[in-house]
Amino acid sequence: MKVESDLGSGVARAVSLVTLLAVLGVLGAAGWLFVVYPDTDGPASEVEEVHIEVSEGMTLRQLANELKRERVIKDAKVWSLSMRMRGLDRHLRQGKVRFRVPMTPEEAARHATTRLGRIQVRILIPEGFSRFEIAQRLDEYGVCNAHDFLDATEDASLLASYGVEANDAEGYLFPDTYEFDDDTKPRRVVERMLANWTRKHEALEERYAERLSKLKGWTTHDIVTLASIVEKEAAVPAERSRIAGVFWNRLKSKRFLPRRRLQADPTVQYGCVAVPEAAPSCTDYDGRITRAMLDDPKNPYNTYRHSGLPPGPISNPGNASIAAVIDPEQHDYYYFVARGSGQHHFSETLRQHNIAVRRNGQK
């Protein structure tokens, strides 16, 4: 009887030991999954950002497989398990989600779910973007709603606080790389961009103080407006100053006819975006310019039909384009036409220009 008792006790101790080891193993695995795994390195990647469209019906496992395929995470099963154990699988972000790589599993989780707080969004606003294009990009990146952003750019009190004497912030939303939290208040986004413009422009004014003093009758708004056109026309940075000189020549010379008309295509396009209801020719505008648009005087931004500057900026120029307007290249060119690779052919006379147009296959 004693032997049977000792045997039973041994078996019980062995079972207890196995159970203990199993529990310790589970606890160890859980501890690794909760404490160590989230901060492990992600896989190396040749790209800097991955965009994944998360539809309403997408499962966590489908998302994990996509992240592994795009080299955002190393193991789809482990990452999925980690998300489920933390109850994050039922709170995935919807729409286009951006993952900056390389990133840790925890960073991937923060971008994938709405339950871990806000994420920081790094966003580039290129030179020459209009406020409408900026609004669309901010919306796509999840920074703020496009419509609310456009409303904020028309906030009179906000504009006045930064000395912007205009109906909207077009031209003063400084192009740069910004970092915002997702779901940032639109007013805060506009404030950041206006404050950046103020800092950069103050440095520019100091640099060109002497030249600015000679531009009698020209306000900051006038300079920014012309610079916004130069920004849209100058695809090659080296041509900014030369193109600015062309526009100055058109504004000042009695030789160029019709008098003081800039004749810049981007102004016509901007009018069709900013005030489409004003011009019948802008109906069904798809980004391409038609002859009817060039001939339409009801478009207030149409510099083919209206002399001088348009009502305001048509884009947000960088300091290089503003500097080009302040200190343009001195020459006798009045015309330019695209000749490929973003470059232009410049001409002094209409006859020379027409020859260049035919030579470069333009209509």
- Which residues are 178's β-sheet partners? 123
Phi first, then psi: give them for residue 75, nearest 5 degrees.
Answer: -130, 115
pLDDT per position as a tens digit, 78-108: 999 999 998 998 889 888 888 888 989 999 9
- Is the pLDDT confidence value at 27 over 60? no
The answer to whether residues 354 and 361 touch, using CB atoms and an 8 Å cutoff, is no
pLDDT per position as a tens digit, 306-329: 999 999 999 999 999 999 999 999
CA dist., res. 268 & res. 298, Å (int): 11
Whole-number Cα distances in Å, 146 to 94, 167, 177, 252, 293: 17, 18, 18, 39, 27
Q: Lowest mean pLDDT of 5-9, 72-76, 117-121, 140-144, name the range.
A: 5-9
More confident residue, 152 or 16: 152
- Is the pLDDT confidence value at 74 over 80? yes
Mean pLDDT of 149-169: 96
The pLDDT confidence band at residue 71, using thresholds 50, 70 and 90, is very high
More confident residue, 101 or 16: 101
Q: What is the DSSP letter of 35?
A: I
CATH 3.30.160, domain 332-363, yes or no: yes
Q: What percent of the chain stands above pLDDT 70?
A: 90
Most confident of 213-217, 247-251, 252-256: 247-251
- Is the pLDDT confidence value at 13 over 80? no
CA dist., res. 169 & res. 65, Å (int): 43
For the 49-117 domain, the top CATH level (class) is alpha beta
Q: What is the DSSP letter of 284?
A: T
- What residue ranges of the chain are covered by domains with CATH 3.30.160? 332-363
pTM given for the model: 0.81
pLDDT of residue 115: 85
For the 121-205 domain, the top CATH level (class) is alpha beta
- Is the pLDDT confidence value at 144 over 70? yes
Contacts of 165 (CB under 8 A, 6+ apart): 159, 219, 221
- What residue ranges of the chain are covered by domains with CATH 3.30.1490.480? 49-117
pLDDT of residue 7: 61
Q: Exposed, middle or buried by CB within 10 Å (0-12, 13-18, 19+), for 327?
A: middle
CA dist., res. 154 & res. 156, Å (int): 6
